[in-house]
């Protein structure tokens, strides 16, 4: 089975712009979670989608949003970018996504905001 | 609020040493504890633990969970330079959101 894929792998944007990141989960996995990883804060949960519904949301501002399509692919959008949004954004998929099963991570998208 | 604390934050050893990494947690309605290894890329899965006292092994790595004392340890024996990485512990609780610790950075010198 192919692993989790994320596009693009690297992205450079300027403050105020918006960005859309994409994640394709492992075939058959219906849960997709998004994380932000920074040296200062570690891995922080953004949100989780299951069967096209946002099931859980972390403590991030409304500028961070996402969606999931019927084929389980997910997109994450960040509007009005700030310097502090520079981070590695990781997507992880799992079969159930209920905090019980194993999550498989994609390679991440490295976002730099100038 | 769910909480996962890993210790030590960093560790420097020489090849052949044995290391023990710790993960303690406070979560509501514990479901599972997972260990991941992260090199210069995405975390890769090592172990998932759900029951106390049952050791999981994979080669030189092993892990065990103590649900009474709310902690887990990850042991690596006969360390190699390829074991150098950040080891992450995550706990799945009733909130359905895995909570990650800050990780332990392990450096193995030849």
- In percent, how much of chain B has pLDDT > 70? 97
In this structure, the number of other CB atoms found within 10 A of the CB of residue A19 comes to 18
Inter-chain residue contact B31 with A98, CB threshold 8 Å: yes
pLDDT of residue A32: 93
More confident residue, A1 or A100: A1
pLDDT of residue B42: 85
Assess A30–B contact: CB distance below 8 Å, yes or no: no
Of B71, B67, B91, B92, give the one whose Cα is nearest residue B24.
B71
Residue-wise pLDDT tens digits, A15-28? 999 999 999 999 99
Assess B104–A contact: CB distance below 8 Å, yes or no: no
Nearest chain B Cα distance for residue A98, angstroms: 5
Of A37, A25, A40, A48, give the one whose Cα is nearest residue A89.
A37
pLDDT of residue B94: 64
User: Torsions phi, psi of B84, nearest 5?
Assistant: -60, 120
**E-strand stretches of B27-76:** 32-38, 44-49, 56-58, 61-66, 71-76
Is pLDDT at B97 greater than 90 in this prediction? no
Is pLDDT at B31 greater than 90 in this prediction? no
pLDDT of residue A100: 58
* Beta strands A109-113 and A10-13, pairing class: parallel
User: What is the DSSP secondary structure assignment for residue A93, as one 8-state letter?
Assistant: E
Suggest the residue from B38, B42, B47, B56 to mutate for an interface test with chain A (most A CBs closer than 10 A): B42
Average of per-residue pLDDT across B66-72: 94
Residue-wise pLDDT tens digits, A46-98? 999 998 999 888 889 999 999 999 999 999 999 999 999 999 999 999 887 66
Give the span between the Cα atoms of A99 and A41, in whole angstroms.
21
């Amino acid at each position: 089975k192919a692993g989790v894929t994320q596009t693009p792998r690297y992205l450079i944007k300027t403050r105020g712009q918006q960005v859309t990141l994409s994640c394709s989960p492992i075939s058959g996995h219906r849960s997709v979670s998004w994380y932000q990883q920074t040296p200062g804060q570690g891995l922080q949960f953004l949100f989780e989608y299951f069967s096209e519904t946002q099931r859980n949301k972390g403590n991030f501002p409304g500028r961070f949003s996402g969606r999931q399509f019927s084929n389980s692919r997910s997109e994450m959008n960040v509007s009005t970018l700030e310097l502090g949004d520079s981070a590695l954004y990781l997507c992880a998929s799992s079969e159930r996504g209920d905090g019980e099963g194993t999550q498989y991570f994609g390679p991440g998208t490295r976002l730099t905001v100038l | 609020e769910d909480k996962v604390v890993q210790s030590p934050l960093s560790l420097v050893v020489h090849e052949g040493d044995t290391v023990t990494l710790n993960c303690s947690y406070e979560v509501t309605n514990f479901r599972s504890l997972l260990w991941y290894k992260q090199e210069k890329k995405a975390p890769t899965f090592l172990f998932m633990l759900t029951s106390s006292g049952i050791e999981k092994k994979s080669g030189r790595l092993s892990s065990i969970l103590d649900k009474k004392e709310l902690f887990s340890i990850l042991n690596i024996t006969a360390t190699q330079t390829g074991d150098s990485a950040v080891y992450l512990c995550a706990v799945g609780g009733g909130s359905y959101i895995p909570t990650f610790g800050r990780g332990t950075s392990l450096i193995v010198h030849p």
